[in-house]
C-alpha cells in the first residue's frame, strides 16, 4: 500500500514538503521557512512597538510642554500692548482730573475771597441788614455744596472696548458626509415612457418628510408622486396630454409641495406660468414668466427663476398679482457679478441668501439678502471637467454646514463646494460610467441625509445612501 502524499508546495521555496499553515496570511510554509516567516513577523512587530514607543515619547513631551510658543508669544504681546494702552489712558485721565480739580478749587477760592472782601467792607462801614446776611449765608452754603459735590466732573466708561478683544479659536474639522456610490433606483428606471412605472426626461424633484418623491416628469407633462418604496408613481397634476388648459401642463421643470395643505406649486415652463394645484383645483399664480426653478422659504416667500430675463424674482405668499421683486440678476444677460445667463434651479437658506445655478456661465452664484451683486461660490472657470469647473450646472442645495451641492449636468456628477474654496470635490458619479448618472438635473435630500438625483437621460431618480 503506497504512503499517502501529504506534501504541499512551500510558499517561500516553492518545493513540495511537509508544510505548516500560517493562520494570519493563510499561506503554507515548510518548517525552515515557517521559522523564517515567524522571524519576519517578529521583526515587523518590533518595528511597530518602536513606533508606538516613539509616539508615546512625543505624547509625554507634549504633556510637559502643552503651550504653543508662537500663540503664547502672541498672547503675551497682546497683554503688553493692552496694558500699555490702559496705562496711557489712565495717566491722561489722571492729568486731566488734576488740572480740572486745580481749576475748580481756584474758582471756588476766588468766589470765597470776593465774599470775604464784601464782608470786610460791610463790617467796616457798619451798614447792613437782614437781606445782606441772608445773601452771605446762602453764598457760603452754595460754595460748601459745590466743594463737597463737584457736579462738573464724573467718570464715563464707553461701551466701546478700549483694547482689542482676544480669544482662542479651535479649528473644527467638519465631518463631511459621504454616500455609497452604488445608487438605488427609487423612481422610474424602466425605460423612457409614460406608464406609471416610467418617466420621460424628468427634471425637478421634491422630497417630503415621509420620503415621498415628487417629480416634474417634464416630457410626460405631469407631476408624479412616488411614495416611499413604491414600485410605481401616481399622477397628482397634469397627465392630460400637453396643453395650456387649467388641468394640463406643458414641460414642467420644477415642483414644490405642501402636503399638509394639499398644495402643489409647479413651474409650468412650456406654458410660461407658475400654477398652483390644491385638491385638483388649479390657479395660475404668476403668468407670462419663463420660469424654470422655484422654491419657498421659511418666511412664506416664493422665488422663481426666469431663464430668459436672466433674473430671480420673489413674491410674498398671496400677493402674486404684483410684479414681485428682483432678488438676483435682472441686469440683462452677461457674466458680470450682477448678471446671470440662463438661471435654472435655486435654493434659499435661512438668511434668505439665494443660490442660483447660472447655467450658461457654468457657475453657481450666491446673492445675499438685498445684495445688488452676487458672488461665485462654485465654478466660474469656464466649462470643463476639472474640479474648479462645472458644465451647465442644474440642481443646487445647501446643507446646514453651508456646503453647496451641485448637479453638474454636463459632467454626469454631483459635486460639493465649500464657499470660498478654489475647487469642489466629486460626491457621486463623474467616473465616465453614464449608467450611474447621465445628465443629472434636480437634486434633493431626505431627513436622514440620503442624497437623491434626478437622472434625466436615464429617466429615473437615483438615491445615494449616506454612510454613517
Q: Thinking of the domain 179-466, which architecture would CATH place it in?
A: 6 Propeller (2.120)
Residue 161 has pLDDT above 70, yes or no: no
- Residue 84: all three cell numbers together: 500699555
Q: Domain ranges in the chain?
A: 8-55, 94-170, 179-466
Q: Which residue has the cell 438615491?
A: 463
pLDDT of residue 1: 47
**DSSP structure class, residue 422:** S
Give the three-state DSSP class for 203: coil
Length of the chain: 468
Share of the chain above pLDDT 90, in %: 51
What pLDDT does 173 receive?
Answer: 45
Place of cell 476766588: 110
Looking at residue 99, what is its pLDDT? Answer: 81
Which residue is associated with the grid cell 462801614? 125
Reported as a single tens digit per residue, the pLDDT across 259-272 is 677 789 999 999 99
Q: Using 50, 70 and 90 to split pLDDT, how confident is the model at 171?
A: very low
| Span 88-123, pLDDT tens digits | 888 888 888 788 778 878 888 887 888 888 788 777
Q: In the prediction, which pLDDT does 379 show?
A: 96
At which residue does the C-alpha cell 438635473 appear?
Answer: 441
pLDDT classification of 250: cutoffs 50, 70, 90? very high
CA angle 263, 265, 269 (to 5 degrees): 155
Instruction: Give the residue among 465, 447, 453 at the shortest CA–CA distance from 210.
Output: 447
What mean pLDDT do residues 4-30 have? 83
Average pLDDT over residues 150-178: 63
pLDDT tier at 255, thresholds 50, 70, 90: very high
Among the listed ranges 196-200, 366-370, 386-390, 434-438, which one has the minimum average pLDDT value?
434-438
Rounded CA gap, 313 and 288, in Å?
Answer: 13
Mean pLDDT in residue range 385-399: 95
- Quote the CA–CA distance of 363 and 385 in Å, as a whole number: 13
Instruction: Choose between 65 and 329: higher pLDDT.
Output: 329
What pLDDT is attached to residue 155? 72
- Split at pLDDT 50, 70, 90, the class of 318 is confident
> Which residue(s) pair with 184 in the sheet?
463
Confidence of residue 65 (pLDDT cuts 50, 70, 90): low
Q: Where does residue 141 rank: exposed (0-12), middle (13-18), buried (19+ CB within 10 A)?
A: exposed
pLDDT of residue 330: 94
Residue with cell 408613481: 233
- Where does the pLDDT of residue 258 fall: very low under 50, low under 70, confident under 90, or very high at 90 and above? confident
342 in Cβ contact with 328 (< 8 Å): no
pLDDT digits (tens, 9 = 90+) for 328-348: 999 999 999 999 999 999 999
Of residues 144 and 305, the one with the higher pLDDT is 305
Least confident of 68-72, 79-83, 256-260: 68-72
Average pLDDT score over the chain: 87
69, pLDDT greater than 80:
no
Confidence of residue 79 (pLDDT cuts 50, 70, 90): confident
pLDDT at 386: 94
3-state class (DSSP) for residue 94: helix
- Record the pTM: 0.64
User: What does the block give as the cell for 426?
Assistant: 466629486
pLDDT band at 276 (very low <50, low <70, confident <90, very high): very high
**pLDDT of res. 372:** 92
Compute the CA torsion angle 436, 438, 442, 447 (nearest 10 deg).
0
Write out pLDDT tens, residues 282-314.
999 999 999 999 999 988 899 999 999 999 999
What SS3 class is residue 359? helix
Q: Percent of the chain beyond pLDDT 70?
A: 90
Amino acid at each position: 500500500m503506497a504512503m499517502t502524499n501529504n506534501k504541499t508546495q512551500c510558499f517561500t521555496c516553492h518545493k513540495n514538503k511537509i508544510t505548516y499553515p500560517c493562520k494570519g496570511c493563510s499561506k503554507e510554509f515548510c518548517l525552515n521557512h515557517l521559522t523564517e516567516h515567524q522571524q519576519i513577523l517578529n521583526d515587523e512587530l518590533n518595528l511597530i512597538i518602536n513606533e508606538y514607543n516613539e509616539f508615546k515619547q512625543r505624547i509625554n513631551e507634549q504633556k510637559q510642554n502643552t503651550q504653543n510658543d508662537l500663540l503664547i508669544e502672541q498672547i503675551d504681546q497682546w497683554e503688553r500692548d493692552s496694558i500699555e494702552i490702559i496705562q496711557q489712558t489712565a495717566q491722561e485721565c489722571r492729568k486731566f482730573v488734576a488740572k480740572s480739580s486745580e481749576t475748580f478749587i481756584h474758582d471756588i477760592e476766588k468766589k470765597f475771597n470776593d465774599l470775604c472782601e464784601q464782608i470786610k467792607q460791610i463790617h467796616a462801614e457798619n451798614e447792613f441788614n437782614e437781606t445782606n446776611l441772608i445773601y452771605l449765608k446762602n453764598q457760603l452754603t452754595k460754595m460748601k455744596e459745590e466743594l463737597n459735590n463737584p457736579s462738573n466732573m464724573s467718570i464715563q466708561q464707553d461701551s466701546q472696548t478700549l483694547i482689542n478683544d482676544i480669544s482662542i479659536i479651535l479649528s473644527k474639522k467638519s465631518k463631511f458626509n459621504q454616500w455609497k456610490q452604488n445608487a438605488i433606483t427609487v423612481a422610474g428606471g424602466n425605460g423612457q415612457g409614460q406608464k406609471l412605472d416610467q418617466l420621460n426626461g424628468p427634471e425637478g424633484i421634491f422630497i417630503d418628510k415621509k420620503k415621498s418623491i415628487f417629480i416634474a416628469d417634464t416630457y410626460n407633462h405631469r407631476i408624479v408622486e412616488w411614495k416611499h418604496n413604491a414600485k410605481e408613481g401616481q399622477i397628482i397634476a397634469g397627465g392630460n396630454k400637453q396643453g395650456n388648459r387649467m388641468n394640463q401642463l406643458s414641460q414642467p421643470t420644477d415642483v414644490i409641495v405642501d402636503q399638509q395643505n394639499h398644495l402643489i406649486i409647479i413651474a409650468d415652463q412650456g406654458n410660461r406660468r407658475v400654477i398652483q394645484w390644491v385638491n385638483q383645483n388649479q390657479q395660475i399664480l404668476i403668468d407670462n414668466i419663463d420660469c424654470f426653478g422655484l422654491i419657498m422659504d421659511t418666511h412664506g416667500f416664493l422665488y422663481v427663476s426666469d431663464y430668459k430675463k436672466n433674473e430671480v424674482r420673489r413674491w410674498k405668499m398671496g400677493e402674486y398679482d404684483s410684479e414681485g421683486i428682483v432678488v438676483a440678476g435682472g441686469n440683462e444677460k452677461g457674466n458680470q457679478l450682477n448678471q446671470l445667463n440662463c438661471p435654472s434651479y435655486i435654493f434659499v437658506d435661512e438668511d434668505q441668501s439665494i443660490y442660483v445655478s447660472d447655467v450658461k456661465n457654468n457657475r453657481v452664484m450666491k446673492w445675499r439678502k438685498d445684495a445688488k451683486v452676487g458672488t461665485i461660490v462654485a465654478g466660474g472657470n469656464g466649462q470643463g471637467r476639472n474640479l474648479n469647473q462645472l458644465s451647465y450646472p442644474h440642481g443646487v442645495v445647501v446643507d446646514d454646514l453651508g456646503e453647496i451641492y451641485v448637479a453638474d449636468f454636463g459632467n454626469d456628477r454631483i459635486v460639493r463646494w465649500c464657499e470660498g474654496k478654489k475647487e469642489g470635490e466629486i460626491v457621486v458619479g463623474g467616473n465616465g460610467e453614464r449608467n450611474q448618472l447621465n445628465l443629472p438635473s434636480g437634486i434633493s435630500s431626505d431627513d436622514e441625509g440620503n442624497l437623491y438625483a434626478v437622472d434625466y437621460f436615464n429617466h429615473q431618480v437615483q438615491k445615494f445612501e449616506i454612510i454613517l
